[in-house]
């Protein structure tokens, strides 16, 4: 598989959220606006790329039996870095993402890529895979955030598009489930027509 | 009274699945049958309560005295994953029947963000140990309520003529959205 294909597979074909249904908790929890979705997506991308790289580098040193705990420690270290950096430099974003930043640790997507991809492939492939999958995740979260923000308050990234109040329900919890449901249906449609 | 408020708040108003979006993976994954949902709920309740007690003790008696609270995420996830392993081993030895019932769900719980989420929330909300335990049990009941209601609906959904593009996950998510809408009716109760 060429590196380009490896990179682009995360956007539609194997999109972590819309197709693989991984990492749904942050995808539903933080996407009240496009900006929050993008912030969460990029934070996860950083963790994913870093953990993929480290796992790929030291895969031959890790005994097979303790590989899952080792991966978790590696991932948790990078999550702590993100947590501290974000708290220091982006306190507003940190406050609105809240609990979901430490919960990147248990995002099935990150551990899943470490186990299924980075522990078997070489450094460059793992890096590209982490970047592609992470950006695919960020893309999905931004899209869902934009849809919810547009329907809920008539704006995208804070820029107003539609006059009026919008449907508040899309900013609240039910809108997350319903919005994601229809986006997945849309992805199914696109995949079928390919 | 205080405890009743915590319970009502966690089960209905801020339902862990439908309002806080924690534990969505098992919620979508094992909710296709009522029987598996019961097993999963039992396992979650067991581990969530234990994990909250253990992480509470670690936070207040190890992390705070040594001023290393920034290691919270790392230590919690390690404790929870080893706890799950330990529970699995002990349960296998002590109560094979319970192990049979919960067995396959236990490994899945390590990556259930609800468990880690409740442990972190207990610290954030500055609960004492007893409040933390009540909070954990109430959240587990909230998880059980949400997943059982959802499983009941999904069993019927299988018999319905769902449009092709909406079959599977999309229809399930829209149903979860309507369920979340119903739970919004509890807002303002506490």
Residues 106-135 of B with CB under 8 A from A: 110-113, 116-117, 120-121, 124
What is the Rg, in whole angstroms, of the alpha carbon atoms belonging to chain A?
17
Domain range enclosing A24 = 2-193
> Which helix (H) or strand (E) element contains residue A155?
strand A155-156
Name which residue leads in pLDDT, B117 or B91.
B117
Are residues B25 and A99, on separate chains, in Cβ contact within 8 Å? no
Question: What single-letter DSSP state applies at residue B30?
Answer: S
Nearest CA in chain A to B107: A68
Count of residues in chain B: 190
Give the pLDDT score at A107: 84
A78 CA to chain B: closest CA distance, Å?
10
> Residue B136 corresponds to which tokens in the numbers above?
């954990």
Give the pLDDT score at A74: 92
Cβ neighbours of residue B185 under 8 Å, at least 6 residues apart?
Answer: none
Name which residue leads in pLDDT, A10 or B61.
B61
Torsion sign, CA atoms A160, A162, A164, A170: negative
Are residues A111 and B73, on separate chains, in Cβ contact within 8 Å? no
Give the pLDDT score at B24: 84
Tell me the chain B residues in contact with residue A82 when contact means C-beta distances shorter than 8 Å.
none
Give the pLDDT score at B28: 80
Mean pLDDT for the stretch of residues A37-58: 93
Give the pLDDT score at B103: 63
CA B135, CA B125: separation in Å to the nearest integer?
10
| pLDDT tens sequence across B129-179 | 999 999 999 999 999 999 899 989 888 888 888 888 788 888 889 999 999
**Backbone torsions φ then ψ of A155, nearest 5 degrees:** -135, 160
Interface test with A, best of B177, B184, B187 (most A CBs within 10 A): B177
Greatest Cα-to-Cα distance within chain B, rounded to the nearest angstrom: 60
Question: So where are chain B's domains?
Answer: 17-184
Give the pLDDT score at B86: 82
Confidence (pTM) = 0.87
Q: Which of B57, B38, B54 is nearest to B141 (CA)?
A: B38
CA B29, CA A22: separation in Å to the nearest integer?
11
- Is residue A146 pLDDT above 70, yes or no? yes
Angle between helices A123-153 and A173-193 (to 10 degrees): 120
| pLDDT tens sequence across B4-57 | 988 988 889 888 888 888 888 778 877 777 887 887 788 888 889 999 999 999
Question: What single-letter DSSP state applies at residue A154?
Answer: S
Are residues B22 and A29, on separate chains, in Cβ contact within 8 Å? yes
Per-residue buried b or exposed e for A113-149, using 16+ beta carbons within 10 Å of the residue's own CB: bbeebbbebeeebbbbbbbbbbbbbbbbbbbbbbbbb
A175 touches chain B (CB under 8 A): yes
Res. A166 pLDDT band, cuts 50 70 90: confident
- Is residue A65 pLDDT above 90, yes or no? no
Nearest CA in chain A to B111: A106
- Is residue A104 pLDDT above 70, yes or no? yes
Tell me the chain A residues in contact with residue B20 when contact means C-beta distances shorter than 8 Å.
29, 99
> Residue B166 corresponds to which tokens in the numbers above?
């909406």
Lowest mean pLDDT among A57-71, A132-146, B117-131: A57-71
> Residue B36 corresponds to which tokens in the numbers above?
């598996």
Burial of B78 (0-12, 13-18, 19+ CB in 10 A): middle
From the list A80, A174, A177, the residue facing B70 with the nearest CB is: A80
Name which residue leads in pLDDT, A75 or B42.
A75
Mean pLDDT for the stretch of residues A46-66: 90
Give the pLDDT score at B104: 67
> Which helix (H) or strand (E) element contains residue A131?
helix A123-153
Give the pLDDT score at B111: 67
Interface test with B, best of A99, A109, A112, A187 (most B CBs within 10 A): A99
Q: Per the structure, how many domains does chain A have?
A: 1
Give the pLDDT score at A5: 83
Res. A1 pLDDT band, cuts 50 70 90: low
Q: Which residue has the tokens 């809108």?
A: A175
CA A152, CA A162: separation in Å to the nearest integer?
10
Res. A21 pLDDT band, cuts 50 70 90: confident
- Is residue B100 pLDDT above 80, yes or no? no
Q: Which residue has the tokens 């442990």?
A: B119
Are residues B28 and A24, on separate chains, in Cβ contact within 8 Å? yes
């Amino acid at each position: 598989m060429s590196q380009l294909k490896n990179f682009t597979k995360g956007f539609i074909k194997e999109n972590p959220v819309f197709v693989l249904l991984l990492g749904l908790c942050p995808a539903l929890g933080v996407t009240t606006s496009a900006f929050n979705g993008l912030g969460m997506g990029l934070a996860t991308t950083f963790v994913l790329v870093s953990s993929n790289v480290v796992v790929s580098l030291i895969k031959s040193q890790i005994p097979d039996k303790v590989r899952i705990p080792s991966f978790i420690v590696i991932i948790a270290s990078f999550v702590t870095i993100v947590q501290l950096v974000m708290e220091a430099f982006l306190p507003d974003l940190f406050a609105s993402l809240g609990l979901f930043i430490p919960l990147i640790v248990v995002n099935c997507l990150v551990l899943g890529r470490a186990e299924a991809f980075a522990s078997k492939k070489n450094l460059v492939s793992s890096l590209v895979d982490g970047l592609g999958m992470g950006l695919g995740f960020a893309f999905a979260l931004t899209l869902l955030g934009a849809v919810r923000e547009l329907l809920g308050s008539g704006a995208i990234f804070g820029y107003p598009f539609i006059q009026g109040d919008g449907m508040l329900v899309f900013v609240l919890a039910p809108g997350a489930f319903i919005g994601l449901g229809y986006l997945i249906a849309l992805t199914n449609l696109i995949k079928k027509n390919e | 009274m205080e405890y009743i408020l915590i319970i009502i708040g966690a089960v209905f108003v801020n339902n862990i699945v439908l309002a806080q979006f924690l534990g969505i993976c098992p919620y979508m994954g094992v909710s296709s049958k009522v029987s598996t949902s019961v097993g999963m709920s039992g396992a979650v309740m067991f581990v969530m309560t234990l994990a909250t007690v253990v992480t509470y003790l670690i936070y207040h008696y190890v992390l705070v005295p040594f001023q290393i609270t920034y290691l919270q995420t790392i230590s919690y996830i390690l404790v929870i994953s080893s706890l799950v392993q330990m529970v699995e081993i002990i349960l296998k030895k002590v109560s094979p029947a319970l192990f049979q019932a919960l067995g396959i769900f236990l490994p899945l719980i390590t990556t259930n963000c609800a468990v880690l989420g409740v442990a972190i929330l207990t610290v954030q909300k500055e609960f004492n140990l007893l409040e933390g335990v009540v909070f954990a049990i109430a959240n587990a009941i909230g998880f059980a309520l949400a997943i059982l209601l959802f499983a009941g609906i999904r069993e019927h959904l299988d018999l319905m003529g769902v449009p092709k593009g909406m079959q599977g996950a999309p229809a399930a998510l829209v149903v979860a959205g309507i369920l979340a809408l119903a739970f919004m009716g509890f807002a303002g109760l506490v």
